[in-house]
Amino acid sequence: MKEYQSYDLRTAAAALSLITMIYYFIQSHTDSCYQPVIVVLLLLAALCENLSLFNRADFLPMAAAMCLGVCFGLMLYYVLPSFSDLWNQVNFIGGNTTAYFIYLGAILVSFLFAEAGAA
Amino acid sequence: MKKNIWKRLTPLFALLLTSAIGSSLLLWQYDGMVDEALGVKHTNVTVGGETVFASRYGDINSTNQTAMLADLRAHNVQTQEEGSVLLKNNGILPLDSSVKMITLLGRASVDPVYRYTSGGPGFNDDGVSLRDALENAGFTINETVASAYGTSKKTRDKFSGDIGEEGEAFFTDAIVKSFTEYNDLAIVLFSRYGGEGTDLMRKDVDGVSQLSLHESEKAVLRMARAHFSRVLLLVNSGNPIELGWMDREDYGVDACLWIGTPGSYGFEGVVHLLTGQANPSGALIDTYAVDSLSAPATQNFGDYTYSNAGEFGLTSVGVHDVTDKYLVESEGIYVGYRYYETRYEDLVRNRFQANSQAGSFASQGAWNYAEEVAFPFGYGLSYTTFSREITGFSDAGESGEEFTLEVTVKNTGDIAGKTPVQIYVQVPYTEYDRENLVEKSAVQLVGFGKTKLLAPGEEETVTVRVDKYLLASYDSHAHDQKGGYTLEAGSYFFATGNGAHEALNNILAKQNIDGLYDHNGMPVQGEPSAACVWTLEQTDDSTYLTMGGSIVENRMADADINTWIPGAVTYLTRQDWNTFPKELTSLSATAAMAEVLNLSTNGEGSYEMYTRPSDGPGIDAYTQGADVTLLLTDMKGVPFEDEKWDAFIDQMTILQMTTMTSDMGGLKAVKDIGFPAVSQNDGPDGAGGVQYVGQSVAAAAFNPSLMADRGDFFAEEALFSGRVAVWSPGADIHRTPFGGRNFEYYSEDSYYSYLCAGLEVGAMQKKGLVSSIKHFAGNDQEMNRYGVCTFTTEQAWRQGPLRGFEGAFTKGGGLSTMTSYSRYGLVLTCENDVVNNQILRGEWGFKGFTITDAGSGTPLDSLAGGTDEFCMNDNAKAIYQWITRNDDGTMLGHLRQANKRIFYSYVNSNLANRLSYDMVIDDGLSWWQYAVIALDILLGVLTVAGLVLYGRSLKKGKEN
């Protein structure tokens, strides 16, 4: 991979992490499902990616990807019960499943960008 | 290169590891459900105790289980036979032997609704469809039509209300041509569908009431009418579809049978009815209105948000934060037939503006009973006819069954059959009542029985005992405004009949009232011999002054909106039918209301209203973790009030007690005190194995012994499967015809629910199955069920939503109940001290445990408000931390009480069969838990290895 491609991917990962964090922060408060650790991990990921753009420390892109990976796993843990409602066609656990899908999707895409950019 | 590999793989491992750990935690949290799904037992008890609750099939083994399941299947078939209600028959039923070739019409004929969405088992592998049942009986089905329906793209959708019926365009030439060969009979099957979280709609995707006959259905009926000489309609619905059109010439039908939700085996019973192998004997458990919107309750049913919710920060999010929704049940006590029949009496007596246009929906002008009601509550036809006469009456019975009525029933037709014996009573409606707004229904069901199979000309005298309590009315002005139950002096008329309307006409005939008519508008005389009178000389307000050791008095003013906003609503009162409810769409919350609501949300940061009492004791007030000298097996037969229970609870640590409050599909073992893990299942239409015929069909059988058998079979299934508790039955009322869960509740009539719950729960409990009857109480609509503020009068609460449950505990001795998501007034049910502690435990003497609906309630408020277990909600840590960090002996006291109730209930369940001194509890891990641990470890190792290898490659790179 060319250096500029890696740079672009890391920039994209940082930007998407930041946007996801802002969206999550606002939306999750509305849905009363806010978890500070998600915000912290997204913020760390964005920070690491940004630093990696100016600092050639090799571990920074990987650290960002690690944060996003852990963040995805945690998010899955928080929202899986709500998805069971979709499966069972009931309104049992509740929750804003549309927003949850967006969180998961955005974090996963950020992770993939970070992964690719870390190469 | 290598460095790049670990750089990429390590984050991927981290993602997988976190996902796996998260999923593992969830699986652990719900381990009871996972075990259940995989058919494994988390905890094994290797040595059992003596049999306290025995199966009538003998030992618990597969041979006896097979025998039990065969009987259970037969029970379901019989329930369907006796619970299906014949509403019309022009002589085509039972089918004569010439009927061989049948065309099934209606898309639901290939896709019936066996039950609505809810808990309980799925359709069994050996279940029977309508087509199977017909073919097994020797009929041949029109394959052309069946195939066409089978490939139909139409689907019913409970969320949009789409009934999923094919219209006129479906009937191609090929389909119509196929009718020629299969023209002995057309069976039309119409369905409705709703369920948990989803009511039926007053206006669905087609822009009409979901219970009305849709244009697509009319097309089906026209097609049937045009091509078949015999048309039979099967109503496959847990909600009363509007049937006022049934006699129309263009799309009317020759016969109609309500079959409700038949479960796995019900269609066998349906076909028995069609062939005459069985004779219908069911009766309607709901009033069938010509227009379902005409019920007073329907005026306020749906989504109502406080108009100023935003101003006070009231919200509608998730399970815990629904504070901005309300429901005012301004119909008061006049639910279902209590409205239609009461207004009918006042109409024929020409009083109280009963003939006004208020509430007139199907009537041409002034309100008219026959134009508004298609079929009355309790009504049902048979292939034969019966006469009914009250031939004996006594008021000398013991407490709880003071009255004894003997009803002589004679089969006056020429086919053998059985019939329900329904006993109604009319209580005096006096000037005092009108002044004090004590509402009285013209008739109310107070007892029931059923005849044996009577041969033509045979008669039987059926004895029905009636509890005097059901004659009392709650008067919130009695006892100097303190309130209480009263039996007013005057004449009490008992009557029987084919439904509430005929019984009322018999009462009115006894009172020499003329101008009577039936539900078709045909003049009738009434039958005075089917009624009798009991006279109370002096008003009695003392018999029910205390119940269960508690004074019965006004407790629910906070659940009446007029307490918070004086004059906010005029409840329907019989003395002026112009008070027929109006829809209350723009209610504004007051600051006082908002303050209460916001206390129970995240607005205060904790959801908790509870605060530690400043003068409350510390946790040292109680002994904790004492040496174990009593095992649970020692508590068998120990009365609830015995101090030995305190000694038993003293042995437990706070942590152990908090763990007992978490039901994640079951409770975990507490080995120290000899409590093995237990599993609990959802109902109400099954106990984990067989999908039963719907509960409302069982209720429509009006057969006390069959209802008790249902409970007994639940308990038998539990004995064989090792379950000790089931979240069943359901006893909320069918407040409106649109309720999404009406199918799994008994009836629109709270008194009938009271009687049924007493029988069914009593049978369950008798054989050691803890019956968590749900949803206690006032879960009167699924819309906004998470926290809707529900308001009505104290009389309506007590004689309506609460009454349906009361029988389960006072008559049936039930030891558990699942609370509703909704709010009594402003406070969540599971957090409501008034209903859980003061009424349920105080007045009704309930000794069992309450469990929340899934995820409902907050830990401290719920415990303080009378909740003992949290369903699918692990609050153990939160409770433990609160008690220990705040040295809160008061909360510890609540926790101890909760544990006592839980253990008391389980030691009086079939769990007792497994308890002994020799019992060994193997609380090991299930195989799937080992597998999950192995996966987590593997991913953990890979992640760490990836980091190490990445670090090493980094180091090497620097060295190079």
Model pLDDT for residues B221-245, shown as the tens digit of each residue:
999 999 999 999 999 999 999 999 9
Q: Residue B729 corresponds to which amino acid?
A: P
- If asked whether residues B540 and B640 sit together in one domain, one would say no
Residue B36 has pLDDT above 80, yes or no: no
Minimum-distance CB partner of A73 among B18, B117, B318: B18
8 Å CB contact of A73 and B17: yes
Please give the pLDDT value at position B214: 97
Which among B601, B572, B597 has a CA at the least distance from the CA of B584? B572
Strands B403-411 and B484-486: unpaired
% residues pLDDT > 70 (chain B): 98
pLDDT-derived band at B604, boundaries 50, 70, 90? very low
- If asked whether residues B908 and B944 sit together in one domain, one would say no
Residue A2 has pLDDT above 80, yes or no: no
pLDDT-derived band at B319, boundaries 50, 70, 90? low
- Three-state DSSP class for residue B496: strand
Cα–Cα distance between B760 and B746 in angstroms, integer?
11
Chain A positions contacting chain B at CB under 8 Å are 30-33, 58-59, 61-62, 65-66, 68-74, 76-78, 80-81, 88-95, 111, 114-115, 118-119
| Number of alpha carbons in the 13 Å side-chain half-sphere of residue B202 | 14
Residue B455 has pLDDT above 80, yes or no: yes
Cα–Cα distance between B652 and B494 in angstroms, integer?
54
Which among B281, B542, B518, B301 has a CA at the least distance from the CA of B420? B281
* Interface test with chain B among A32, A48, A72, A80, by most B beta carbons within 10 Å: A32
CA B26 to chain centre: 29
Which among B385, B276, B263, B368 has a CA at the least distance from the CA of B692? B263
Which among B195, B179, B177 has a CA at the least distance from the CA of B187? B179
Region B547-563: mean pLDDT is: 96
- State both tokens at B139: 């009929």
Cα–Cα distance between B259 and B267 in angstroms, integer?
9
- What digits encode the pLDDT tens for the residues B830-868? 999 999 999 999 999 999 999 999 888 889 999 999 999
Q: In this structure, what DSSP letter does residue B357 have?
A: S
Cα–Cα distance between B750 and B255 in angstroms, integer?
30
Q: Residue B21 corresponds to which amino acid?
A: I
pLDDT-derived band at B39, boundaries 50, 70, 90? confident
Q: In this structure, what DSSP letter does residue B542 have?
A: S
- If asked whether residues B740 and B884 sit together in one domain, one would say yes
Residues of B in Cβ contact (< 8 Å) with A93:
319, 854-855
Please give the pLDDT value at position B645: 98
CA B459 to chain centre: 35
- The residue behind tokens 């005029």 is B570
- Min Cα–Cα distance to chain A from B358, Å: 36
- What digits encode the pLDDT tens for the residues B387-441? 999 999 999 999 999 999 999 999 999 999 999 999 999 999 999 999 999 999 9
Q: Is residue B794 part of a domain?
A: yes
Region A81-85: mean pLDDT is: 78
Length reported for chain B: 960
Query: Around Cβ B455, how many Cβ atoms within 10 Å?
Result: 13
- The residue behind tokens 């005389």 is B525
- What digits encode the pLDDT tens for the residues A27-69? 887 766 788 999 999 999 999 999 988 877 778 888 999 999 9
Evaluate the CA torsion angle A81, A83, A89, A94 in order and state its sign. positive
Cα–Cα distance between B807 and B731 in angstroms, integer?
10
Q: Among B242, B258, B281, where does a domain finish?
A: B281
Query: Around Cβ A17, how many Cβ atoms within 10 Å?
Result: 31
Residues of A in Cβ contact (< 8 Å) with B16:
69, 73
Residue A119 has pLDDT above 80, yes or no: no
- Min Cα–Cα distance to chain B from A105, Å: 14
Listed in order, strand segments (DSSP E) in B820-938 are 823-824, 827-828, 849-851, 870-871, 921-922
- Asked if B830 contacts B786 with a C-beta cutoff of 8 angstroms, the reply is no
- Asked if B358 contacts B349 with a C-beta cutoff of 8 angstroms, the reply is no
Contacts of B844 (CB under 8 A, 6+ apart): B547, B548, B806, B809, B810
8 Å CB contact of A93 and B319: yes
Q: In this structure, what DSSP letter does residue B607 have?
A: S
- If asked whether residues B875 and B939 sit together in one domain, one would say no
- The residue behind tokens 């029109």 is B142
- State both tokens at B695: 């509960």
Please give the pLDDT value at position B28: 83
Cα–Cα distance between B902 and B810 in angstroms, integer?
19
- State both tokens at B459: 């008669």
Q: Is residue B308 part of a domain?
A: no
Q: Where are the alpha helices (DSSP H) in B429-568?
A: 431-436, 478-481, 500-510, 561-564
Cα–Cα distance between B389 and B721 in angstroms, integer?
46
Region B570-593: mean pLDDT is: 97
Residue B640 has pLDDT above 80, yes or no: yes
* Interface test with chain A among B317, B602, B935, by most A beta carbons within 10 Å: B317
Least confident residue range of B6-20, B97-111, B688-702: B6-20
**Overall domain count for chain B:** 4
- What digits encode the pLDDT tens for the residues B493-542? 999 999 999 999 999 999 999 999 999 999 999 999 999 999 999 999 99
- Min Cα–Cα distance to chain A from B321, Å: 8
Domain of B519, CATH number, reads 2.60.40.10
Cα–Cα distance between B794 and B556 in angstroms, integer?
6
% residues pLDDT > 90 (chain B): 84
Query: Around Cβ B343, how many Cβ atoms within 10 Å?
Result: 27
Chain B positions contacting chain A at CB under 8 Å are 3-4, 7-8, 10-23, 25-26, 117-118, 158, 195-198, 315, 317-321, 602, 782, 786, 854-855, 950, 954, 957
- If asked whether residues B692 and B748 sit together in one domain, one would say yes
Residue B327 has pLDDT above 50, yes or no: yes
Q: Is residue B592 part of a domain?
A: no
In degrees and rounded to multiples of 5, residue B844 shows phi and psi of -95, -5
pLDDT-derived band at B742, boundaries 50, 70, 90? very high
Residue A79 has pLDDT above 90, yes or no: no
Q: Is residue B723 part of a domain?
A: yes
Please give the pLDDT value at position B42: 63
Cα–Cα distance between B658 and B882 in angstroms, integer?
11
Question: Residue B465: in which H helix or E strand, if any?
Answer: strand B459-466
- Min Cα–Cα distance to chain B from A76, Å: 7
Cα–Cα distance between B157 and B725 in angstroms, integer?
32
Query: Torsion angle of alpha carbons A16, A22, A28, A34, nearest 10°?
Result: 100
Q: In this structure, what DSSP letter does residue B637 have?
A: T
Cα–Cα distance between B25 and B12 in angstroms, integer?
20
- If asked whether residues B665 and B683 sit together in one domain, one would say yes
Domain of B668, CATH number, reads 3.20.20.300
- Asked if B761 contacts B729 with a C-beta cutoff of 8 angstroms, the reply is yes
- If asked whether residues B911 and B949 sit together in one domain, one would say no
Query: Torsion angle of alpha carbons B396, B397, B403, B405, nearest 10°?
Result: -90
- If asked whether residues B115 and B137 sit together in one domain, one would say yes
Q: Is residue B879 part of a domain?
A: yes
- If asked whether residues B930 and B867 sit together in one domain, one would say no
Residue B692, phi-psi category: left (phi > 0), alpha (psi -120 to 50), beta (remainder): beta
8 Å CB contact of B954 and A91: no
- If asked whether residues B25 and B103 sit together in one domain, one would say no
- Three-state DSSP class for residue B797: helix
Range of the domain at B222: 85-281
- Min Cα–Cα distance to chain B from A4, Å: 17
Q: Residue B509 corresponds to which amino acid?
A: A
- Asked if B577 contacts B343 with a C-beta cutoff of 8 angstroms, the reply is yes
Region B50-55: mean pLDDT is: 93
Q: Is residue B753 part of a domain?
A: yes
- What digits encode the pLDDT tens for the residues B747-805? 999 999 999 999 999 999 999 999 999 999 999 999 999 899 999 999 999 999 999 99
Please give the pLDDT value at position B605: 45
- Min Cα–Cα distance to chain B from A43, Å: 16
- If asked whether residues B263 and B410 sit together in one domain, one would say no
- Three-state DSSP class for residue B525: coil
Region B884-901: mean pLDDT is: 97
Cα–Cα distance between B583 and B568 in angstroms, integer?
12
Cα–Cα distance between B681 and B668 in angstroms, integer?
15
- If asked whether residues B876 and B929 sit together in one domain, one would say no
Residues of A in Cβ contact (< 8 Å) with B319:
93-94
Mean pLDDT of chain B, nearest integer: 94
- State both tokens at B856: 């409902």
Evaluate the CA torsion angle B279, B281, B283, B285 in order and state its sign. negative
Which among B350, B334, B341, B338 has a CA at the least distance from the CA of B370? B341
Q: Residue B326 corresponds to which amino acid?
A: Y
Please give the pLDDT value at position A32: 62
Cα–Cα distance between B234 and B190 in angstroms, integer?
6
Q: Is residue B596 part of a domain?
A: no
Contacts of B115 (CB under 8 A, 6+ apart): B238, B261, B263, B685, B691, B694, B743, B744
Residue B140 has pLDDT above 70, yes or no: yes
